[in-house]
Chains A and B, each alone.
Chain A
Amino acid sequence: MIGRIVQFFGNTANVRLKWRIFVAVLVVIVFADFLVLRDHGEYFWDLLPGWGAGFGFVSCVVIIFVSKFIGHQGGIMRDEDYYD
């Protein structure tokens, strides 16, 4: 059982199917985010449906590119034998 699930996710032949499932999941959870009860929230974004989706996407993109920029341009990433 576990083995078959893992094989399914690993198999590159299923790429299209996996994307379809993934997109379906995204649609469902965004839809759910619009339906849930929002009776209280500390900040405005707590009352904003779809906030999580946008925030998750944007912060992931920011993390990737800001980190890579700091790593490459800030002199953080060095050759593996730097300390030798």
Chain B
Amino acid sequence: MTDWIHPALIFLAGALVLPLLKGHFRQLWQLAIPLAALASVAIMTPGEYGGFNFVGQKLLIAKVDKLALVFAWVFTIMAVIGCLYSLHVRSAAQHVAAFLYVGSALGVVFAGDWFTLLVSWEIMAFASAYLIFAADGLAATRAGMRYLMVHVTGGVLLFGGIVLHGQETGSYLFGPIAETGGLAYSLILISFIINAAVPPLNAWLTDAYPEATVTGAVFLSAFTTKTAIYVLIRAYPGTEVLVWLGAVMALYGVIYAVLENDCRRLLAYHIVSQVGYMVAGVGIGTEMALNGSASHAFAHIIYKGLLFMGAGAVIHMTGRRKLTELGGLYRTMPWTVALYMIGAFAISAFPLFSGFVSKSMVVAAAAGDQRAVIVLMLTVASSGTFLHTGLKLPYYMFFGRDCGLRPTEPPINMLLAMGIAAVLCVGIGVLPGLLYGMLPHPVNYHPYTGAHVTESLNILMFTALAFFLFLRSLDPERTISLDTDWAYRRGSGLFMWVANRPLARWEQMITSLSDTVIWRWLNIGAHFSLIGDLKGVDAVVNSVARTALRCGAVMRRVQSGVVSHYAGAMISGVLACIALYVFLWAA
């Protein structure tokens, strides 16, 4: 325990101290804490830490193995990048929330038992919700509330599932869940796929992330869905339903991204799409597929962070977020354009970029597992990924019709953060061995074969050809797209209508009924009962009392105090008894 520090504790301590600091000291602290956490991950050795017995159950705060370390590395790297990106933000509360968010995500990653996982899971939900609320304004507050409601629901399902699972197995140690047909299996799975944003439970993500603060969305894009992938890899590897959910999910995000006008919502739909690859990988469940899911999560966190940082930079500098109101920004923001495009090439899986070495591993695992339909679905989705994040979004945001705005480049800390992410996107793509070496299972996969490179390039470049030929059909429209959040956004309206109309009316009717009819009869009843009380009960009680008094007076006269009277009374009594006895015996 002495040579090991939980990085979550570093973030917790950082969050406690941060509000006390000001100016440059606070900025230094903002960078020092994630760097310290990164260092603690770097020196970490696999093993079990912080185990203890609690009311007869073995609990384990942290279990470090290769899988946990992959996620811990990328979480702390992203924390460094995100903190650098948000260095200029003055609100201490946002930084505290971000620290707690990253810390609790690390708590989930290292959790050795279900209760540690649950507690971290809940802190993660509340800390991340603050990053949405902090954007202020009615839209953000409402979206944040909806986000919180969904996650609280997921948390309750998880809690119920954990308790049932603990009763079934007698152990609260975190690990794979066997499908026994029990309720625990389903409850925990549902709570996990809520956080992974698997349709139809995806809408919390695409509803809330675009409403978050510019810097908050960068953190949000990284942690919640990827912790969900992590726990799915741990608890549900090889679950068949996840293969299909993942493949559908990959296409679902792509279809919605065509329709989307809000730049960060478009990117959010591509989180759904990309996480679909990881979910499918978990479902396939072979060593290669699980490696693919873990490595794709790693690459995804960096390039998606970069894309959100690019879109965030535009929003930060222009105050606009709709593609219909943007365009022509390349003139004054060339660095933002270039860095964004590196993220776009990475998510599109261009050779030499990170997505190429991670996404293809999932697809190859599906091919190796004889799943042709899944392979085709995932390949279509990767064409759609380039179409939106690599072509549509940059075209309408940075090029295309000139919106007339001439914003400058964003603050230097934002550009630097994007630069670090861009270097990693290229670095992982050029030297995949670095990432492969960290993966939980041995890797026997070579992404850079001639056929794979040319096929990928052909798919992507001919996607681009179709994009340019049918450009006008893709023009963004001033609309919003209905997603499954419709059910609870409109459903809550129905609920309020039921509460305001039928329920409130009924309550009113009951009140007036009791006021007029019931209350009057109660009054009359009370009046009669009062009369009955006075004339009946009281009279009886009074006469009993009076009789007792009279008897007492008579008895007082009998008690004369003269001994001869008492003796006479006793003798006459004895005589009377004898007479009675003789009389009865004679009879």
Contact = CB atoms under 8 A, between A and B. Distances in A.
A6 B465 CA distance: 20
A29 B461 contact: yes
A69 B375 CA distance: 25
Contacts of B379: 55, 59
B463 A56 contact: yes
Contacts of B458: 29-30, 33, 50-53, 55-56
Q: How large is the interface on B (under 10, 10 to 19, 20 to 34, 35 or more residues)?
A: 35 or more
Nearest to B259: A71
B367 interface: yes
Contacts of B457: 29, 32-33, 52
B334 interface: yes
Q: Interface centre among B258, B454, B464, by most A CB within 10 Å?
A: B454
Contacts of B367: 42-43
A25 B379 CA distance: 21
Contacts of B338: 2, 5-6
Nearest to B328: A10
Given A2-B338, A52-B455, A63-B384, A26 B481 contact: no
B461 A25 contact: yes
Contacts of B384: 59-60, 63
A26 B474 contact: no
B52 interface: no
Nearest to A61: B466
B259 A68 contact: yes
A23 to B, nearest CB: 9
B456 A64 contact: no
Contacts of B399: 9-10
A36 B462 contact: no
B163 to A, nearest CB: 36
Interface residues on A, range: 35 or more
A66 B474 CA distance: 12
B479 interface: yes
Interface in B432-472: 450-451, 453-468, 470
Interface in B358-400: 367-368, 370, 372, 375, 379-380, 383-384, 387, 398-399
B258 A67 contact: yes
Interface in B129-170: none
B66 interface: no
A83 B387 contact: no
A56 B383 CA distance: 6
Contact of B460 (A41, A56, A76): A56
A27 to B, nearest CB: 10
B334 A46 contact: no
A22 B334 CA distance: 21
B446 to A, nearest CB: 12
Contacts of B542: none
Residue of A7, A59, A60, A67 contacting most chain B CB atoms (<10 Å): A60
Given A42-B368, A46-B451, A10 B466 contact: no
B553 interface: no
Nearest to A42: B367
B489 interface: yes
A79 B121 CA distance: 36
A52 B478 contact: no
Given A57-B465, A68-B259, A43 B459 contact: no
B331 A7 contact: yes
Nearest to A65: B473
A60 B451 CA distance: 21
A61 to B, nearest CB: 5
A1 to B, nearest CB: 10
Given A57-B465, A66-B255, A78 B481 contact: yes
Given A59-B463, A67-B255, 9 more contacts: A7-B334, A10-B331, A29-B461, A36-B453, A57-B465, A59-B384, A63-B255, A67-B256, A68-B473
Interface of A: 2-3, 5-7, 9-10, 22, 25-26, 29-30, 32-33, 36-38, 41-43, 46, 50-57, 59-68, 70-71, 75-80, 82-83
Q: Closest 9 CB pairs between A and B?
A: A52-B458, A67-B258, A36-B450, A56-B459, A56-B462, A60-B466, A6-B334, A10-B330, A52-B455
